Structure 1
Amino acid sequence: MKKLSYLFIALFSLSLLTTSCREQKSTGDKIEDAIDDAGDAVEDVADDVEDAVN
């Protein structure tokens, strides 16, 4: 019984060590990314319009 509990503790410890933690984005980071994406889209459309005019 004692060996079984040691085995369980060892496996549990191993699972904690191998589980990766993802970095959570804050709300500010998400907003900044959305603004950057929108700015890139506007620049792309402006380039397309410039090419169509020429």
Structure 2
Amino acid sequence: MRVLFLLIVAANIWAYALGQGWIGARPDDAGRDRSRFAQELNVERIRVGP
């Protein structure tokens, strides 16, 4: 029972670290190109409508 508890705690710590990006790239960031945000053209022309 103690071993099962420790395995569950270790799995939770691993899942938290993966979600925070401590192990590598966050799963939410997969496929995103962050360099494109710096290349926005004509930012002043963007208007938010109702």
TM over 0.5: no
Larger Rg: 1
Larger RCO, structures 1/2 (Cα 8 Å, 6+ apart):
2
Greater share of helix: 1
Give the TM-score, by structure 2 length. 0.44
